[in-house]
Structure 1
């Protein structure tokens, strides 16, 4: 689910072994600064000092379906209001990226960032996006018309430099899908584009990405809107967890077929937390580990050994290879009893866009609501949104 939504690991050049990389920020909080409260994130901290904010970002580089590569990556960013003289980038600010706030011209290379800005009412500040696969009709039309530059999606390739520089952004929110893209970070900075990494893909809990809406709120002058959004999601999640807890616990399997006898299985971390908070026992549960992906590759034999008695099965998503072997499916109780689901709701085929990969990342309450309805028929008092009954897998 969310880890598949967050399909690639965001990384930053700072702290890697490349000698051209900027020095890592000092360890520990900046001196004389007050930390601002962010309840969920484990990949950034925000401090306030002398009228400006300091953002420290730190996260492991996690390969999809695998493990973290190398050391945690770090960056320090200074958010200085435009109506004040910026602090000197020296001492504990040496090597930091300076962003003047509120930012007015924003470039992104990931559709989730478009969704964050949309929730803040700041999507009109976009000057560059990854491409034309946005679920948001207005943003997609602007990209197709050429009004928005296209810099390439972070999960495919490093940013396209010419359209990015040509868009003249005040801020480039950058997600990279591969360590090999990191060398482009310093080049972009050297060309005068202020770059800030976003590590929401490395958050170990599903509420972590929601706090990134708060971070963007600080950058755009939309703090009140961000706070209201975060509180709404928090309240919905708390209510859904309490509601699910009134129901009998169900056994669940979340695994989609990747081909060649291998499945991508929800095993730990943020995806598993969603299942457990819906009052489910994940039969493929592995210990949480922030340096391992939430999803793990497993063979059909392992599923047969451990998950035959699952009450419900999330069997398919947009990445799935078709699986139609009834001789295998018939071994699973969930398939025989018709509790098989797919996480492929809110899809616009003409745009090849799934909202689960955009808004779904910052609306875990909608995902949790779908899971509670899937697992507990007595709670099916509203339509499914992202996770819905599977209509493509063969029926018993």
Structure 2
């Protein structure tokens, strides 16, 4: 992936607004901090110095915290948590003037990236970019978008902008109701896996942008082909965030691409307030009943892949969710979200001490889990029926909505885990994303 420096690679930006041509701008002029994330580490949004520092009127109704959408296998359970009250009003952030460009900076959008940046110049109105700009140029609002990750689809849906999504990757694994309803008529197309995209289809679709992700490096093949086709691409790095709220906060970056940043901030504020309220409730409950960490449920995660069991690091966002829900996850040494290999024998020793076992792959029953390895039958959590998987909402092909809408709704995942860890907490609640294996 190219590295774009707003200080050295951006020439004069000439904007044509109305009938008057303002003085040229350089990227140095994008000094107005429009949005600096509180949790996410991978993006920021800046505007031109001198823009009016006043929050614009929302372009539409502020998105509400939506109910978890129906899946291809039926509707989600009705016992979902009620939305929290809206948080108290906060001072308005600065906002770009109407039709003014903004600069979205994406940083280190894959595991292990260091010093990698993508500069995305977001134009509005009749503004144009200079020939010298070496970053990505798009015009907001994006009207035709291709999403290569299910979490990106969920962000558009949460914002009420799902109709902008015209292409996806792995459509059979997506739970989104709009995608399911509009695939038959061809309004939403499957462009193939990110490693083997259908570039002929993409050329015919002419999307305004393709939203990419990287796992351990840049998707260099896709970058080159999309550049050849003249299709802008933008990396969305929610995958790399170690904070559950940091992952969800990327919906503000997506909102900026839709000219809905004010609404995106308001929506994220509600999710954040709800998460923090539940986290505080959990902390008080656990402090009263299990002040010693040794008294908290010990949690084993995942199942072996071939002859290796991968466990998350202590910084992994799932581990943080478990911690915020009052649990204690077994982890491996390492940094960030990446999981680390653990010898099978060591993992079996941990399994013998685990009170709960979560995230058991594609398994829907204990019999399926035991069939993977006879030794699983002796794991205490299996014998006691304390195994939960995060695929309660899944498509016939096996795609789990946990990895889709669950990324945008860490507050609901936190509710689920609190109920699993402390079923006697007094709440009348059934987990949304998790189910107990029987």
TM-score normalised by L of structure 1: 0.81
- Displacement of 1:115 in angstroms is 1.1
Say if 2:162 is the partner of 1:123: yes
The answer (yes or no) to whether the contact 1:251–1:280 under 8 Å persists in 2 is yes
Moved more, 301-310 or 174-183: 174-183
Structure of larger gyration radius: 2
Unaligned runs of 5+ in 2: 10-25, 50-99
C-alpha distance in 2 between matches for 1:296 and 1:60: 20
1:202 to 2:246 alignment: no
Instruction: Map Cα deviations across residues 294-334 of structure 1 (whole Å, 9 max, x no partner).
Output: x22323321233453332221513279833456554353x3
How many positions carry a matched residue from both structures? Answer: 355
Q: Secondary structure at the match of 2:211?
A: strand
CA distance in 2 between counterparts of 1:25 and 1:159 reads 30
**1:389 counterpart residue number:** 436
Tell me how far apart the structure 1 counterparts of residues 318 and 230 of structure 2 sit (CA, whole Å): 38
Counterpart for residue 214 of structure 1: 252
Residue matched to 1:88: 130
Determine the C-alpha separation between the residues in 1 that align with 2:254 and 2:359: 34
2:105 aligns with one of 56, 70, 87: 56
Contact 1:56 1:76 in 2 (8 A): yes
Q: What residue in structure 2 maps to residue 279 of structure 1?
A: 326
Match of 1:322 in 2: 369
List per-residue Cα deviations over 1:198-252 (Å, max 9, x = no partner): 1111112221221211111111122233123211211121122112111225132
| Secondary structure, counterpart of 2:201 in structure 1 | helix
Residue 24 of structure 1 deviates from its aligned partner by 5.8
Q: Displacement, 1:347?
A: 1.3
2:32 corresponding residue in structure 1: 34
Aligned residue for 2:395?
348
Pick one of 222, 242, 251 that aligns with 1:184: 222
1:365 is matched with which residue: 402, 411, 415? 411
Secondary structure in 2 matching 1:172 = strand
Shift of 1:352: 3.7
Distance in 1 between residues matched to 2:300 and 2:7, nearest whole Å: 41
Using a 3 Å threshold, how does the CA distance of structure 1 residues 210 and 27 change in structure 2: closer, same or farther? farther
Deviations 1:162-184 (A, max 9, x none): 11121111122122456484133
Are residues 1:297 and 2:341 paired? yes
Using a 3 Å threshold, how does the CA distance of structure 1 residues 373 and 40 change in structure 2: closer, same or farther? same
More strand by share: 1
Query: What SS does the aligned partner of 1:228 have?
Result: helix
State the partner residue of 2:94: none
TM-score by length of 2: 0.73
Aligned pair in 2 of structure 1 residues 335, 106: CA closer, same or farther (>3 Å)? Answer: same
Residue deviations 1:99-124 (CA, integer Å, cap 9, x gap): 11112121222222111111111111
Query: Over aligned residue pairs, what C-alpha RMSD do you find?
Result: 2.8
The 2-side partners of 1:301 and 1:27 are apart by 53
Q: 1:149 aligns with which of 176, 184, 189?
A: 189
Contact 2:376-2:382 at 8 Å conserved across structures: no
Contact (CA 8 Å) 1:61, 1:73: kept in 2 or not? no
Q: Please name the residue that 1:267 is paired with.
A: 313
Mean Cα displacement is larger for which, 224-233 or 174-183? 174-183
Instruction: Rate the CA distance shift 1:144–1:354 in 2: closer, same or farther, 3 A.
Output: farther
Shift of 1:42: 0.5
